[in-house]
Amino acid sequence: MIQRSQLDLRKFVAPEFICGHGALHLAGRYARNFGMKQVLLVTDPGVRAAGWAGAVGESLTEAGVSFTVFDAISANPRSRQVMAGTEAYLAGECNGIVAVGGGSPMDCAKGIGIASSSMRDILTFEGVDRVPVPAPPLICIPTTAGSSADVSQFAIITDEGRKRKIAIVSKTLVPDISLLDPEPLTTMPRELTVDTGMDTLSHAIEAYVSNASSPMTDVHALEAIRLIASALPAAMAEPDDLNLRFSTLLASLHAGLAFSNASLGAVHAMAHSLGGAYDLAHGRCNALLLEHVMAANYDAASGRYDRIGEILGQGRETPAEGAAAFRRSLGITETLAEVGVREDAIPALAAAAYDDPCMVTNPRSLACEEVERIYEYAL
């Protein structure tokens, strides 16, 4: 465990963001202010069908900004999809990107931005601080409350060749502005609400116990845990309540500000590995791993985990049990084995997770064998 002091150097980077009802309709104004003439509007088919991409398009048109829609994006966006978007960006002679959607379109939009500005394959950016030329201006409009890609320095892309997710980490990936509007969240299906909510919780918990946490990130992480613990179950009960949806959005924002600066830990490292190999929903992977990683890490940050346990409540003995009870209350009751993970795949999953940059800020330095055991517990 890395010893921490409040005098340790820390940096806090946050994008400009506007939150509140109707924020989405400011897309055109900000696109114009950033000097965008031709925008690549990055979204996915679901968001487009729900009408949110169209609403943003109208805003762009009203501001006199032309746009090209790119929506060939799946969950866990593939490198091939990023490069297809890059081609669309260059072919359309675009000079800015507006991303509307969840983590997949936003991560893909970040990838398109850096691939087009550097004219390189997206996979060559894997790692930390490997983006030499800044991407064009990027406006993010999240339609889920969980990925926090709208405020983070991360882009997670699936390397189809190696069947694993790569992490691209760079401060240059932080969007230029994010427009946080609760209204698009109302069209999220229940399962997506749960998974993205659990992603928020995982972000907040991992940032809070991260060995790179700071007083600034702690404030956001704890607020995120508090908000999600109360607002997520309520929002599931009343999905059309804009105030509840806004609370989950705020939770995601706080969590994003926390983890984008304090980074994450083993939960995300292992979830990236799982998602790459099995194409599982990212939030669901986090949900199934969270309590097991918390248990494994507990001794390294017991005070912080206890604080988390207090917030999660649930009347459980340990924070990990509290987290487990929380996810079960949301209807997530399966195990890794039940979603298709085989025991013989664990060594490879563990090796990939051990390689993930999120592992560097895990509160406890885990050996690869320990990562394997965590997967085994989660089976």
Partner 1 sequence: MSMHSEHPGERDALREKIIGLGETSLHKSYYPELQSRLAELERFRALLDQTHDAIFLIRAETGRLADVNASAKAYLGYSKKELLATPFADLISPSKQTQFSEFIRDNSNLPSESRQTFTAPLVSRSGTEIPMEITVRSVTFGAEQYVVAVARDITDRLHTERELRIKESALESSTNGILIADLTGAVMYANRSFAVMFGYEREAAIAGRNLEVFFADPTVGEKVTAHLLDNPAIVQETVGLRSNGSPFHIQISGSVVQNDAGQPLCIMLIVMDITERILTEQMKREAYTQLGKNIEQFAILGDHIRNPLQVIVGYAEMIDDPFAEKILEQSRRIDDLVTQLDRGWVDSANVRQFLRRHGDGAKPPGETFFRFSNWKEEDR
Residues near partner 1 (CB under 8 A): 2, 9-11, 13, 37, 126-129, 133-135, 153, 167, 169-174, 176, 211-212, 261-263, 351, 354-355, 357, 359-361, 368
Rounded least distance, CB 176 to partner 1, Å: 7
Of 250 and 350, which CB lies nearer to partner 1 in the complex structure? 350
Rounded least distance, CB 175 to partner 1, Å: 9
Q: Using the CB atoms, write b or e for 159-168: b if 16+ within 10 Å.
A: beeeebbbbb
Task: Give the integer Cα–Cα distance in Å for 235 and 203.
Answer: 19
User: Please, which residues have CB within 8 angstroms of residue 248's CB and are 6 or more apart in sequence?
Assistant: 145, 185, 193, 197, 200, 227, 228, 231, 232, 235
Helices (H) and strands (E) in the chain, counts: 14, 9
Rounded least distance, CB 263 to partner 1, Å: 5
Of 193 and 273, which CB lies nearer to partner 1 in the complex structure? 273
**Do the beta carbons of residue 139 and residue 114 sit within 8 Å?**
no
Rounded least distance, CB 256 to partner 1, Å: 15
Task: Give the dihedral sign, CA 230/309/213/107.
Answer: negative
| One-letter amino acid of 248 | T
**Do the beta carbons of residue 112 and residue 127 sit within 8 Å?**
no
Rounded least distance, CB 146 to partner 1, Å: 21
**Joined tokens for residue 117:** 């500005």
Rounded least distance, CB 10 to partner 1, Å: 7
Of 221 and 228, which CB lies nearer to partner 1 in the complex structure? 221
Of 175 and 309, which CB lies nearer to partner 1 in the complex structure? 175
Task: Give the integer Cα–Cα distance in Å for 368 and 374.
Answer: 10
Rounded least distance, CB 246 to partner 1, Å: 27
Rounded least distance, CB 272 to partner 1, Å: 12
Of 1 and 337, which CB lies nearer to partner 1 in the complex structure? 1
Q: Is 174 helix (H, G, I), strand (E, B) or coil?
A: coil
Of 87 and 355, which CB lies nearer to partner 1 in the complex structure? 355
Q: What are the Cα distances from residue 343, in Å, to 336, 338, 374?
A: 10, 11, 12
User: Please, which residues have CB within 8 angstroms of residue 294's CB and are 6 or more apart in sequence?
Assistant: 205, 305, 308, 318, 319, 320, 323
Of 298 and 354, which CB lies nearer to partner 1 in the complex structure? 354
Rounded least distance, CB 274 to partner 1, Å: 18
Of 44 and 176, which CB lies nearer to partner 1 in the complex structure? 176
Task: Give the integer Cα–Cα distance in Å for 168 and 153.
Answer: 8
Q: Using the CB atoms, write b or e for 347-376: b if 16+ within 10 Å.
A: eebbebbbebbbbbbbbbebeeeebbebbe
Of 131 and 285, which CB lies nearer to partner 1 in the complex structure? 131
The full length of the chain comes to: 379
